[in-house]
Amino acid sequence: MAEEEGRRLPKGVINLLRDLAIAFLLVAVVMAALFAFARVWPPMVVVESSSMQHSNSESALGVIDTGDIVLVQNAPRPQDITTWVEGKVDGHTTYGDYGDVIIFKRAGREADTPVIHRAMMFIIWNDSAMGFDIPSLLDLDPEFWASNKAEPTGLSTGDHITLKGVGFRKLAVKFNMGDFVGRVPSPEICPRPCGGYITMGDNNAPTLTGDDRFVRQELVLGRARGELPWFGLLKLVLGGGFSWGDSRAPANSWTSLTIALVLLIVAPLALDVIVSRLISRKSRGGSNPGDGEPK
């Protein structure tokens, strides 16, 4: 008997192992649920730039800010993604503006960090016209777009499309189609009809120099759905790219993260103290002399 008792693990170690097992199980369940929803791995990305912010000085819930963690949902077909133009027609909004926000790889730079931008228009290359067709513009009220051509077909170098009321600043943003003509790959890489998205960060308008892109569907990793604010800053700091309080993220994001971390540490400790006191009080209250004796 003495040897059996000597081989038993201390109660504290058993409790620690139990807690670790429970924590691991909970994490596994959460990640499995996220994958079931997202259908892509990894199901989350950390936002490293300010291109989607609506303010460089203050972050906001419901807007994609530097340091946010964004859930990525698989979107393998153009039908799975609503562009700004289409969202303007049917009222579909995400993250403070019309249309979906997509996460994609840069053509020819697939190993680089993916980009997160709003899908503005889906354009289709027209070989016979040597330009782009944008059928979705035909459903958009002429009040919200303009072009140097009467119809949004065969748009090539020298042609442009202007979208009106874009973003949180409600700007008129001009897209020069010549910027995209040279980005259409050969038929072997992009079978005809070859289509792609023109994308833009909410914070990039109205200056699009270097930011306007032709993104083929196969480069799209998914569409953004939901966010966990601030906590991605931990990854940026631990990865060495950011220092704590870095001005590249809004100041109130750092403040909110600090408060959240304090609460995450203090709350379990406080709960443990409260539960321990309740158990102790109950134990003292139930140990009166004579309890349990036959009368």
CA–CA–CA angle 283, 286, 290 (5° rounding)? 140
Asked if residue 86 lies in contact with residue 94, where contact means CB atoms within 8 angstroms, the answer is no
Residue 144, in any domain of the structure: yes
At 25 the pLDDT is: 83
Residue 19, in any domain of the structure: no
Range of the domain at 135: 35-251
Residue 294, in any domain of the structure: no
Q: What is the pLDDT of residues 154-194, one digit of tens each?
A: 999 999 999 999 988 899 999 999 888 888 889 998 999 99
At 5 the pLDDT is: 52
pLDDT of 265 over the 60 cut? yes
Q: What is the CATH number of the domain that holds 101?
A: 2.10.109.10
Q: What is the pLDDT of residues 36-93, one digit of tens each?
A: 766 677 788 999 999 999 988 899 999 999 999 999 999 999 999 999 999 999 999 9
Report the mean per-residue pLDDT for the chain: 86
Give the tokens for residue 39.
Answer: 């259908």
Name the residue among 287, 291, 123 with its Cα closest to residue 199: 123
At 287 the pLDDT is: 53
Residue 91, in any domain of the structure: yes
pLDDT of 219 over the 70 cut? yes
Tell me the pairing of strands 97-98 and 220-228.
Answer: unpaired
Residue 213, in any domain of the structure: yes
Residue 58, in any domain of the structure: yes
What is the domain count for the chain?
1
At 30 the pLDDT is: 75
Give the tokens for residue 135.
Answer: 């059928």
The region of weakest confidence among 3-7, 166-170, 230-234 is 3-7
CA distance 94 to 100: 6
Q: Which percentage of the chain shows pLDDT scores above 90?
A: 57
pTM over 0.85: no
Residue 6, in any domain of the structure: no
At 264 the pLDDT is: 85
Q: What is the pLDDT of residues 110-128, one digit of tens each?
A: 788 899 999 999 999 999 9
The region of weakest confidence among 132-136, 164-168, 276-280 is 276-280
At 278 the pLDDT is: 80
Name the residue among 53, 95, 98, 72 with its Cα closest to residue 220: 72
Residue 262, in any domain of the structure: no
What is the separation of C-alpha 31 from the centre of its chain, rounded to a whole number of angstroms? 16
pLDDT of 2 over the 60 cut? no
